[in-house]
Structure 1
Amino acid sequence: MSKTENIRNFSIIAHIDHGKSTLADRILEMTGMITDRAKKDQYLDKMDLERERGITIKAQTVRIPYTTPDGQKYILNLIDTPGHVDFSYEVSRSLSACEGALLVVDATQGVEAQTLANVYLALDNDLEVIPVLNKIDLPSAEPERIAREIEDIIGLDCSNPLMVSAKSGLNVQRVIDAVIELLPPPKGDPDARLKALIFDSWYDSYQGVVVLFRIIDGTIKKGDAIRIFSSGKRFEVTRLGAFMPEAVDIKTMGAGEVGFLCASMKELGDAPVGDTITLADNPVDEPYPGFKPVKAMVFSGLYPIEPSEYETLKNALEKLQLNDAAFSYEPETSQALGFGFRCGFLGLLHIEIIQERLEREFEAKLITTAPSVIYQVDTVGGGTMTIDNPSKLPDPTKIVAIREPFVRMEIHVPNEFVGSVLALCEEKRGLQKNMAYITTSRVVITYEMPFAEVMYDFFDKLKSSTRGYASLDYELIDYREADLVRLDILINGDPVDAFSCIVHRENSARTGRSLALKLKRSIPRQMFEVVIQAAIGNRIIAKERNAPFRKDVTAKCYGGDISRKRKLLEKQKEGKKRMRRMGNVEIPQEAFLSVLKADED
């Protein structure tokens, strides 16, 4: 058990590609935590997906024992955090386990979008933030300009920033020294009752649930009977330790320390992220503040391409849910796609990651339906329904009102892009609440907006209209009544429920035309005419058609009477009519994917 004054808990926050993982690698090398033999790039990113995309999906921790040149011994706990807005709750829990953060900014590119949301999360948690300018060895680096940018945009004192090159290791030792000198030690009382924050958890097939925690007060040791505050469930600690960077067992841990424990927990729900661990026989009165259960915000259908793969997909989803508590699923049936699952996600990036993991790790071949948010529907009988699937929306004659979720959104953007951001928010039915200049060149715009508009293509359009400089953070606030309708897609007169969506009546015609055109481009031509229609109830609002292939049945006629040719063409015409009536249209996977993509106009 270490003294709290010799412990430093910190994380690294940065935009994609600014060198967060590289800096973490160098710190581990310089402190002797990884050998030359074990060395590899992005050491803390365990998944191939994280390495390829350059993003951190799961939080990781490393306990680094470090001795200064004058003989002082310290414990440095590096807590790696995800960066995307979908995982902002996980980030807030990880940052609340720290006292400080290293803000890494690329000296060639400057302050960018993802850095900002997490910097403000860190400042909200009263963390000490140390600015670090990376890649200063590149010819295009402009450290003085970027330092001024950090002062102007974020408001941090950057008069003497740490200038490093994480790739070459230049000045990384200064970063380690700054962590010890500038970051405060934890304040916990080792003699108080145990209070520990769960900031991550995952399922291990041999040990059950592995819990990452930070002790706020008190001590914990192997064999202790613990209680999870929100559920009141009791467990016995079977293993206690820390990652250095591989798992190492530790008998006792005290206030301020970061580690992991196993306690024969069978489900991730036994240890929710943000919950508090306390001793079963001597519990604390109040949990650590800020805990809220993680709720799915976006729903989408996942279906196997081959019906025979249904059981394989079900087993894959069961295993994946063990490692991701925010992901949920339940069986559902579609007229167009057969048997599948309705799945809940945190956001669009979460959908992409789950889909890619299913395809890679479990070799599942999937069709994903268009994402949908949760709507509340007041019916004629006085009841209220919760709808997460557009095909379950009742008949319009039975609906009194439909309410959709609204989010409060903060957009941090340079003032040169304010006009394009305001135009985008107005187009997406946003209500402007506030606009404030935090510096001479930085603006915070606050909007309230329907969540359905945010999660579809808002993020992509925001990035493209601001050259990637805008940062976005949002939280769900309430449900509000709106004039919403169900838009159905009919192919040769048959509705395809997988393409159904709930849209605002004002935007229905534009959305219908867009969907019909995308499907026309994606569905290949057949031997018969394919008619694609968008409809609201019985009213057709958009139509596209794919003309049939025409076989030249008269090719074998060499001259002769014209009536023979006419007879062949009439016979073909009759056959085409019959084929159109009986034919089933093959809809390729690309058609379902095209619906998910943002409009290109």
Structure 2
Amino acid sequence: MSHQKYIRNFSIIAHIDHGKSTLSDRLLEAIGLLKDKSSEQVLDSMEVEKEHGITVKAHTVTGFYKAQDGNTYQLNFIDTPGHVDFNYEVSRSLKACEGVLLVIDATQGIQAQTLSNFYLALEENLVIIPVINKIDLPSAHIDMVKEQIEKDLGLDPAEALLISAKTGLGIDTVLEAIVQRIPAPKGDIHSPLRALVFDSYYDSYLGVVAKVRVFDGSIKKGDAITFMLSQKNYQVEEVGYTQIKLVPQSELRAGKVGYITAAIKSISDFGVGDTITWTNKPCAEPLPGYKEVKPYVFAGLFPAEGEDFEDLHEALMKLKLNDAALTFEKWNSAALGMGFKCGFLGLLHLQIVQERLDKEFDLAIITTIPSVEYRITLSDGSIMMIESATELPDQSKIRQIEEPFVLSHIILPNEYLGAILQLIQDRRGIQRNMIYIDTDRVEIIAELPLAEIIYDFYDKLKSFSRGYASFDYEFLEFRPSEIIKLDILVNGKVVDALAQMVHKDTAYERGRSVVTRLKDLIPQHLFVIPLQAAIGSKIIARETIKALRKDVLAKCYGGDITRKRKLLEKQKEGKKRMRTIGNVDIPQEAFIEVLKRGDNE
């Protein structure tokens, strides 16, 4: 146990943009891992993270700190995401920790994700250290935030640490609090090996690199190991910890966080959440994994060029390694060819995956309209789950369609209450409760159909409240609903990639919006192209792309009128024939633009 006495495993959790990554940088500086005060967030290494200014991946780093008691402690800490779409990353990180720093912005106070992450830490019985950040700003309300910590979280406000991650003020007190308040890890070094894989990624030289927390036993180079869920066996090639870069060690013992490599070339050989044990002396049972992730939003991803299909498959396999929330399976579309039906945690998650495929793998992707999972009860009583409008069975065979509802928590300043209540009503929401947190802020608890919030609900919420409202949601249940399939016909043919499931009340607006945009996006052909939105056999909206007109009379300089009529009739007949056999070329941009602006009508 002596070696464990000087180990501290902790995570940093907070609402989006409350300063987690900046605090990580200051901690890295304080323990000597960053030589210069970099303005960039070091742990946010992905291009998409830098562009969006958010953390997408949980990052692990190990450092050593000489405390005031004269002892040197090994600190293993993880910087986690704050956006609602990456909540799963947070739950994974917490499994490897004994304590958390809960960062709260002194100017904004406790927000929806602060509460959500706090409850995650509470479920894991972790020591929670509240940290009030940005105290150097003129708009900081330290006393108000301390009140909220006591009232909303039930923690002692006197124990809250006051810091400014930007200037480095109070960082020493954070390090001392970690050493003094967070307990050392428990675990028996003499028991059989039990290590939890809480993250992984693919390295072209090392193969799969698994990030692990060792709970019992030890692991070193040459050990024969087994992944308990997949029952795959390997020989360990390298173990160590991460200090921005990988630092090899002789072994990882109980209580430590680090990485292992074992020439794992096949990406599908194990999953995040698996338990590693010794092959010749296995442990009795695997570690309790964290909850299985359930995707809420589904969309088809297709390569713009058909020959890129295998490249897209490999890229998705590599993304799945360090994004366990991504699910995918092969899918064939009549309009777009071979691709994948993918599951995501939300629309930001979908956007991040698209951008990573573009920037990290240089792949051009076409995405179908995002949708949610619906539960269909058929006439014979059987139940089926569908994620795409193309999977919907014939209407005559359906007894009932149910859509997913979520319970949402929205925290906002009082002055924006009217606009947000109207937004909830427009999105078929049901207000369940309204709680006045203090004189300035109110929390709305509402039930909302998931299909209504996956598009631009979050953006509208931010714009209506000038960025002050925060939003968090959890799955509630499936409820019967009047959902119908909206088909889009181009030149009389149904384009399956544009079909979508909509509520009966919004079908006309959605159909009108799509055909109006397609009219601007599809180029003119030599024949008239009708664009139609249909529910079953009933057309509810139509636009027409006029034909390109060739001047067949250009060669007639004066002359007999009957000759001109004859030429025009001939052209008319030709266009009629062309229209019956002519195929419409829909440019890739048309799909992307219609989808990108999916629900902004």
Look up the match of 1:512.
511
Q: Deviations over 1:94-125 (max 9, x none)?
A: 12322332333444555555444323323443
Distance apart, 1:507 and its partner CA? 2.9
**Aligned counterparts of 1:513 and 1:452: Cα–Cα separation in 2:** 19
5 Å-filtered alignment, 1:379-528, equals 379-380=378-379, 383-414=382-413, 417=416, 419-431=418-430, 436=435, 444-528=443-527
Distance apart, 1:486 and its partner CA? 1.5
Q: Deviations over 1:437-471 (max 9, x none)?
A: 56666555444444333323333333334444444
Contact 2:97 2:126 in 1 (8 A): yes
5 Å-filtered alignment, 1:360-375, equals 360-375=359-374
Look up the match of 2:29.
29
Letter in 1 for 2:591: F
Contact 2:330 2:339 in 1 (8 A): yes
**Aligned counterparts of 1:269 and 1:314: Cα–Cα separation in 2:** 12
**Aligned counterparts of 2:539 and 2:155: Cα–Cα separation in 1:** 56
* Secondary structure of the corresponding residue to residue 391 of structure 1: helix
Distance apart, 1:67 and its partner CA? 1.1
**Aligned counterparts of 2:305 and 2:219: Cα–Cα separation in 1:** 51
Q: Deviations over 1:119-167 (max 9, x none)?
A: 3323443433334344444555555555556556655544575443433
**Aligned counterparts of 2:445 and 2:124: Cα–Cα separation in 1:** 21
Q: Which moved more, 1:153-162 or 1:86-95?
A: 153-162
Contact 1:198 1:271 in 2 (8 A): no
Look up the match of 2:178.
179
Are residues 273 and 307 of structure 1, via their aligned partners in 2, closer, same or farther at CA, if it must alter by over 3 Å? Answer: closer
Contact 1:201 1:271 in 2 (8 A): no
1:298 aligns with 2:297: yes
Letter in 2 for 1:88: N
**Aligned counterparts of 2:321 and 2:125: Cα–Cα separation in 1:** 33
Letter in 1 for 2:334: Q
**Aligned counterparts of 2:40 and 2:318: Cα–Cα separation in 1:** 28
* Secondary structure of the corresponding residue to residue 77 of structure 2: strand
Contact 2:135 2:163 in 1 (8 A): yes
Look up the match of 2:45.
46
Q: Which moved more, 1:291-300 or 1:573-582?
A: 573-582
1:64 aligns with 2:34: no
* Secondary structure of the corresponding residue to residue 456 of structure 1: coil
Look up the match of 1:209.
208
Distance apart, 1:540 and its partner CA? 0.8
Distance apart, 1:348 and its partner CA? 1.8
Q: Which moved more, 1:557-566 or 1:158-167?
A: 557-566
Distance apart, 1:4 and its partner CA? 3.1
Contact 1:87 1:346 in 2 (8 A): yes
Distance apart, 1:405 and its partner CA? 3.7
1:170 aligns with 2:181: no
Letter in 1 for 2:512: R
Are residues 42 and 569 of structure 1, via their aligned partners in 2, closer, same or farther at CA, if it must alter by over 3 Å? Answer: same
Letter in 2 for 1:396: Q
* Secondary structure of the corresponding residue to residue 456 of structure 2: helix
Q: Deviations over 1:151-198 (max 9, x none)?
A: 566555445754434334333233222322333333445455544333
Distance apart, 1:42 and its partner CA? 1.8
* Secondary structure of the corresponding residue to residue 454 of structure 2: helix
Q: Deviations over 1:249-300 (max 9, x none)?
A: 2334344321122344454554433344445555555554453333443322
**Aligned counterparts of 1:58 and 1:573: Cα–Cα separation in 2:** 60
**Aligned counterparts of 2:434 and 2:191: Cα–Cα separation in 1:** 45
Letter in 1 for 2:261: C
Letter in 2 for 1:29: E
TM-score by length of structure 2 reads 0.86
Distance apart, 1:307 and its partner CA? 3.3
Distance apart, 1:31 and its partner CA? 1.1
Contact 2:16 2:81 in 1 (8 A): no
Distance apart, 1:490 and its partner CA? 0.6
Look up the match of 2:240.
241
Are residues 46 and 422 of structure 1, via their aligned partners in 2, closer, same or farther at CA, if it must alter by over 3 Å? Answer: same
Q: Deviations over 1:272-331 (max 9, x none)?
A: 333444455555555544533334433222223333444443444444445544334333
Q: Which moved more, 1:454-463 or 1:57-66?
A: 454-463
**Aligned counterparts of 1:240 and 1:176: Cα–Cα separation in 2:** 26
**Aligned counterparts of 1:149 and 1:563: Cα–Cα separation in 2:** 88
Distance apart, 1:498 and its partner CA? 0.6
Distance apart, 1:541 and its partner CA? 1.4
Contact 1:56 1:82 in 2 (8 A): yes
**Aligned counterparts of 2:442 and 2:372: Cα–Cα separation in 1:** 29
Distance apart, 1:395 and its partner CA? 2.0
**Aligned counterparts of 2:491 and 2:513: Cα–Cα separation in 1:** 18
**Aligned counterparts of 1:138 and 1:441: Cα–Cα separation in 2:** 19
Look up the match of 1:7.
7
Q: Deviations over 1:524-546 (max 9, x none)?
A: 44454332211111111122233
Are residues 422 and 357 of structure 1, via their aligned partners in 2, closer, same or farther at CA, if it must alter by over 3 Å? Answer: same
Q: Which moved more, 1:441-450 or 1:252-261?
A: 441-450
Look up the match of 2:344.
345
* Secondary structure of the corresponding residue to residue 599 of structure 1: coil
Contact 1:202 1:210 in 2 (8 A): yes
Look up the match of 2:103.
104
Are residues 560 and 459 of structure 1, via their aligned partners in 2, closer, same or farther at CA, if it must alter by over 3 Å? Answer: same
* Secondary structure of the corresponding residue to residue 585 of structure 1: coil
Look up the match of 2:80.
81
Letter in 2 for 1:352: Q
Look up the match of 1:197.
196
**Aligned counterparts of 2:316 and 2:196: Cα–Cα separation in 1:** 28
Are residues 313 and 255 of structure 1, via their aligned partners in 2, closer, same or farther at CA, if it must alter by over 3 Å? Answer: closer
* Secondary structure of the corresponding residue to residue 397 of structure 1: helix
Look up the match of 1:535.
534
**Aligned counterparts of 2:306 and 2:243: Cα–Cα separation in 1:** 46
Letter in 2 for 1:174: T
* Secondary structure of the corresponding residue to residue 259 of structure 2: strand
* Secondary structure of the corresponding residue to residue 372 of structure 2: coil
Distance apart, 1:562 and its partner CA? 7.9
Distance apart, 1:559 and its partner CA? 8.5
Distance apart, 1:77 and its partner CA? 1.2
Unpaired segments of 5 or more residues in structure 2?
none
Contact 2:376 2:401 in 1 (8 A): yes
Distance apart, 1:334 and its partner CA? 2.2
Are residues 575 and 450 of structure 1, via their aligned partners in 2, closer, same or farther at CA, if it must alter by over 3 Å? Answer: same
Are residues 413 and 124 of structure 1, via their aligned partners in 2, closer, same or farther at CA, if it must alter by over 3 Å? Answer: farther
% same residue: 54
Distance apart, 1:91 and its partner CA? 0.8
Distance apart, 1:62 and its partner CA? 1.1
* Secondary structure of the corresponding residue to residue 513 of structure 1: helix
**Aligned counterparts of 1:159 and 1:344: Cα–Cα separation in 2:** 44
Look up the match of 1:591.
590
Are residues 139 and 448 of structure 1, via their aligned partners in 2, closer, same or farther at CA, if it must alter by over 3 Å? Answer: closer
**Aligned counterparts of 2:574 and 2:2: Cα–Cα separation in 1:** 85
Are residues 234 and 582 of structure 1, via their aligned partners in 2, closer, same or farther at CA, if it must alter by over 3 Å? Answer: closer
**Aligned counterparts of 2:455 and 2:38: Cα–Cα separation in 1:** 40
Letter in 2 for 1:366: I
Q: Which moved more, 1:534-543 or 1:142-151?
A: 142-151
Contact 1:202 1:268 in 2 (8 A): no
Contact 2:232 2:270 in 1 (8 A): no
Letter in 2 for 1:62: V
Distance apart, 1:382 and its partner CA? 5.5
Look up the match of 2:334.
335
Unpaired segments of 5 or more residues in structure 1?
none
Letter in 2 for 1:359: D
* Secondary structure of the corresponding residue to residue 341 of structure 2: strand
Contact 1:241 1:259 in 2 (8 A): yes
Distance apart, 1:495 and its partner CA? 0.9
